[in-house]
Structure 1
Amino acid sequence: MKVVFAIAEADPFVKTGGLGEVGGSLPSALQRQGADVCVIMPKYSNIPENFRKQFQHINHFYVPLAWRRQYCGLEEFIHRGVRFYFIDNEYYFKRSNIYGEYDEAEQYAFFSRAVLESLTHLPEFKPDIIHCHDWHTALIPLLQKEFYVKEPLYYSLKTVFTIHNLKYQGVFPQEVLTDIIGLNDTYFTEEKLEFNGKVNFLKAGLLYADRITTVSPTYAQEIQYSFYGERLEGIIQKRKESLLGILNGIDYQVYDPYTDPLISFPYSFSPQAKDLNKKDLQHCLGLPERENSPLLGMVSRLVDQKGLDLLCFIMEEILLLDVQLVILGTGDKLYEEKLQTFAEKYPGKFVFRREFNDQFAHKIYAGIDMLLMPSLFEPCGIAQMIAMHYGTIPIVRETGGLKDTVISYNEYTGEGNGFSFANYNAHELLFAVQRAVKFYDSDKTAWARLQKSAMTCNFSWESSASAYLSLYKSLIRLKA
């Protein structure tokens, strides 16, 4: 079975969040289970130079994009046994930012068309499946059916489209349809790509992919209803028989407290060693080394989705508890300013690190006692899975992948691996925090059992890879 991953980012080359984690880890997990996988992604100029200088030029060709013919180089690099192919065009990808540029529609329309064109240039690789991820590649299933379906390499090719976050859809002005994508106005209807008077890239993936997946079973159910459906719930409901929720995993070669080179004191099931990491983190943050006070943390983009409005509403009540708090992340200026104000008002209790720092995130996962994830919605989430593997107890809202991975602690049966609350309400979050803090203070033996329960949860990519392989096989049987 030969599978092409088309994706906008992949760790360790470029990673801004969960999409990059998937691009870097899932292909190798699939390969370990017998699939032959290659990944195609843009050759961004901010890929580290130590990787770029090892890329091997394979070929170059020209990509049709409406009335344009654009140069495309194809470069190869093998990482962890997986072939990565990089689409090289400096006009589109020599940028300081990966996302958010003024010509993003043209940038990723080119990438989608370049992925399809590159398939004829892959050495000894005739794909059975092309697996597209998020709106950046959502045009591929449509373009395949419109421009390539009569060509031998393409007509039997099956497409899978994965929604990583339905909120981000790639919505652009109407003229993009003809002037950039190269389709006629018959596609500008409500039944096709039209969306509130504009063109919606993600809608193309929902309509034209052979199968649709998303990154947790609960999120697959949620997006069929208006609260989570981002005005696309009608299409998703119509295609629900083709929709499957497969929980993301985490890479235990990267996130393992026993082997992690980014933390000061490696550990397995040792509360004492975790306490050493807590002291080390407190020292790094300039916080008093208070062993018996729980240290809470958050590693997140600072946006509405992540529940920052709830947290800010009750921040003073949390900080009046006998706790310390660290938040690492960047995002909306409003939340950055609010958090900075709290940090200045509560020195010695709260530290706000306004940065995206993956290395320091490891120290936080290892050093804090509890992780806050009060999300409005969370397609999957990986922070809670990482935290649990580091013996850090998550406090989450019951939504999406958080509901699928965190079982609220039951003090009567001893079951559970974290704490949760159901409604999107600031005081429900506060009560969950108060409950966790009270439990931490009152029963250290039971807390250690809870930590062990969290650490023994298995969120490896192997089960996810197995589910994707079953999906691919079902498509290949249909093709046969």
Structure 2
Amino acid sequence: MKVLFAAAECAPFFKTGGLGDVAGALPKELKKQGIDVRVVLPFHTTMAQEYQEQLEDVVQFEVKVGWRNQFCGLKKLVKDDVTYYFIDNLYYFDRPSLYGFDDDGERFAFFSQAVCEMMEKIDFIPEVLHVNDWHTAIVPVLLKDKYQWIKAYQGIKTMLTIHNLQFQGIYGQLVLSDWYGIGYNSFHEEGLKYYEDVNTLKGGIFFADQVTTVSPTYAAEIQTAAFGENLEGVLRQNNYKLSGILNGIDYEVFDPQTDKKIQGHFSLDDLSGKAVDKALLQKRVGLPVEPNVPVMSMVSRLTAQKGCHLLQEKMEELMQRDVQVLILGTGELEYEDSFRYFTARYPDKFKAVIDFDVTLAQQIYAGSDLFIMPSAFEPCGLSQLYSLRYGTLPIVHETGGLKDTVIPYNAFTGEGTGFSFYDYRGEVMLETIDQALTVYYDEPKVWQSLVKQAMREDNSWEKSAAVYIEHYQSV
């Protein structure tokens, strides 16, 4: 089966979040499972030089963006047996970052049309074209509207994966002609029309053959007003083709036995290296090296969505407990400043590292005892999967993928891989933290059992990729 996977970002070339992780790991696993998968991305010039040096030119052509004729170069690189194509246009993609520009809509309109037009040029006509988020969500619309006359394209099926429903690609209706060179055929209630504007994600939901999102619980949540971002009705209307497939993580990269970013390697059979990692982590961030005091960490964007306000609200009370708290991330100034304040006020118990540091993040997953994710909503979440892999027990709010991946501790049966709370209030979060600390201090054998149960969980892409393949086959 031939699959073309289109995304705006992809690790290790360039990424800002979960979409980049998925685009980096899923195609690699699909290839291992026998799918002829190729990936197409924008050529963001922020790509590391080591990868730029491996690029080879494939073909050059022009793409009409409304009335403009824009140059399009196609570059290619093969990594881990996967072929990656990069759409090259310096006017659109020679930027200091991936997103956040006034012309983002036009940039990804160009990219979406370039994806459609490149398939004939490289003689790769997929059976399934898998698009991701608003950046490429209009591709299923374009295939049925603008490019339906190309006979080779008429059998292509499409899948749209929603990684974050908050971003939808909403623009004035003039973009139909100005960017896409199309009329009003697709501008209706069961298409691109969103009030008086164009909504590319909405169009993709209606026109794609399959719509997926990144966890079963999030698939249900986004059909409600609380999580639907004004598209809950659209998603309910299309729920016959909507499903949630959990993200996985790359078990080759995130492996406590071989991870080059940590010094103490460990496994289910020998956990001694985890104590080494904890001591090194405490030393690196400037916390007292105390092996018997639990370290509770967070690696996150510092925003209200990630639950930073709950931590901020309860931090004074939490600091009365026998625990060390470590936070790594950047984000909203209010939380950065607040966590700096707690660092100064409680130097032996609290440390905030206001930075983006991939190596330190790995060391945190490996060296912590607890990992807190009190997100208001979380489509899937990856940090809790990393922490499970490294035997660090998550404390999570029961939402989205957090609910699907963390089994709450049951004191009667001994089951569990972490701790969770449903009622989204600071005092409930604090009660859950207290429950975890009680088990840590009073029931060390139970704690060790939970650590091993967490590490036994299979959150690899191998399992998730098999589900994607089933969906490809079903369309």
Is the shorter-chain TM-score for this pair beyond 0.5, marking a shared fold? yes
Matched, 1:410 2:410: yes
| Bigger mean CA deviation after superposition, 83-92 or 185-194 | 185-194
Residues 415 and 203 of structure 1: CA distance in aligned 2, closer, same or farther (over 3 Å)? same
Cross-structure match for 2:459: 459
**Whole-angstrom distance in 2 between the partners of 1:364 and 1:417:** 18
Residues 142 and 237 of structure 1: CA distance in aligned 2, closer, same or farther (over 3 Å)? same
SS of 1:131's equivalent?
A: strand
Cross-structure match for 1:160: 159
Cross-structure match for 1:228: 227
Cross-structure match for 2:386: 386
SS of 2:289's equivalent?
A: coil
> Is contact 2:63-2:70 (8 Å) kept?
yes
> Is contact 2:30-2:465 (8 Å) kept?
yes
Q: How far off is 1:181 after superposition?
A: 2.7
SS of 1:315's equivalent?
A: helix
- Give the alignment of 1:283-322 within 5 angstroms: 283-322=283-322
Q: How far off is 1:198 after superposition?
A: 3.2
Deviations 1:284-339 (A, max 9, x none): 00110011111010011112221112121111111221111111111122222222
Counterpart of 2:421 in structure 1: which amino acid?
F
Deviations 1:345-378 (A, max 9, x none): 2112111111222121100101111000111111
Deviations 1:384-442 (A, max 9, x none): 11101101000001111111110101122110100000121111111111110111011
Cross-structure match for 1:239: 238
**Whole-angstrom distance in 2 between the partners of 1:199 and 1:423:** 37
> Is contact 2:146-2:182 (8 Å) kept?
no
> Is contact 1:281-1:363 (8 Å) kept?
yes
Q: How far off is 1:150 after superposition?
A: 1.9
Cross-structure match for 1:25: 25
Cross-structure match for 1:100: 100
Residues 393 and 149 of structure 1: CA distance in aligned 2, closer, same or farther (over 3 Å)? same
Matched, 1:170 2:176: no
- Give the alignment of 1:7-406 within 5 angstroms: 7-122=7-122, 124-185=123-184, 187-269=186-268, 270-406=270-406
| Bigger mean CA deviation after superposition, 259-268 or 148-157 | 148-157
Matched, 1:433 2:402: no
Residues 147 and 213 of structure 1: CA distance in aligned 2, closer, same or farther (over 3 Å)? same
TM, length-normalised to structure 1: 0.96
**Whole-angstrom distance in 1 between the partners of 2:108 and 2:320:** 48
**Whole-angstrom distance in 1 between the partners of 2:326 and 2:193:** 44
Counterpart of 1:144 in structure 2: which amino acid?
L
Counterpart of 1:258 in structure 2: which amino acid?
Q
> Is contact 1:258-1:267 (8 Å) kept?
yes
**Whole-angstrom distance in 1 between the partners of 2:168 and 2:338:** 29
**Whole-angstrom distance in 1 between the partners of 2:359 and 2:16:** 13
Counterpart of 2:277 in structure 1: which amino acid?
N
Cross-structure match for 1:478: none
**Whole-angstrom distance in 1 between the partners of 2:188 and 2:30:** 38
**Whole-angstrom distance in 2 between the partners of 1:382 and 1:307:** 16
SS of 1:305's equivalent?
A: coil
Counterpart of 1:36 in structure 2: which amino acid?
D
**Whole-angstrom distance in 2 between the partners of 1:126 and 1:144:** 12
SS of 2:305's equivalent?
A: helix
> Is contact 2:298-2:373 (8 Å) kept?
yes
Q: How far off is 1:179 after superposition?
A: 1.6
SS of 1:10's equivalent?
A: coil
SS of 1:298's equivalent?
A: strand
SS of 1:331's equivalent?
A: coil
RMSD, aligned α-carbons:
1.3
SS of 1:71's equivalent?
A: strand
Can you give the 5+ residue segments of structure 1 that lack an aligned partner in the other structure? Answer: 476-480
**Whole-angstrom distance in 2 between the partners of 1:360 and 1:244:** 35
Residues 320 and 171 of structure 1: CA distance in aligned 2, closer, same or farther (over 3 Å)? farther
> Is contact 1:6-1:137 (8 Å) kept?
yes
Q: How far off is 1:187 after superposition?
A: 4.6
| Bigger mean CA deviation after superposition, 129-138 or 148-157 | 148-157
Q: How far off is 1:197 after superposition?
A: 4.0
Counterpart of 1:274 in structure 2: which amino acid?
K
Q: How far off is 1:199 after superposition?
A: 2.5
Counterpart of 1:146 in structure 2: which amino acid?
D
Can you give the 5+ residue segments of structure 2 that lack an aligned partner in the other structure? Answer: none
Deviations 1:164-216 (A, max 9, x none): 01112122344333322333356555443233543222112111111100011
Counterpart of 2:152 in structure 1: which amino acid?
L
**Whole-angstrom distance in 1 between the partners of 2:176 and 2:340:** 43
Residues 368 and 88 of structure 1: CA distance in aligned 2, closer, same or farther (over 3 Å)? same
**Whole-angstrom distance in 2 between the partners of 1:349 and 1:196:** 51
Q: How far off is 1:149 after superposition?
A: 1.3
Deviations 1:201-232 (A, max 9, x none): 21121111111000111111111111011110
SS of 2:446's equivalent?
A: helix
> Is contact 2:145-2:185 (8 Å) kept?
no
**Whole-angstrom distance in 1 between the partners of 2:120 and 2:88:** 16
Residues 146 and 189 of structure 1: CA distance in aligned 2, closer, same or farther (over 3 Å)? closer
> Is contact 1:271-1:448 (8 Å) kept?
no
Counterpart of 2:297 in structure 1: which amino acid?
G
**Whole-angstrom distance in 1 between the partners of 2:248 and 2:59:** 34
Percent of paired sites with the same residue? 47
**Whole-angstrom distance in 2 between the partners of 1:2 and 1:450:** 42
Q: How far off is 1:264 after superposition?
A: 1.4
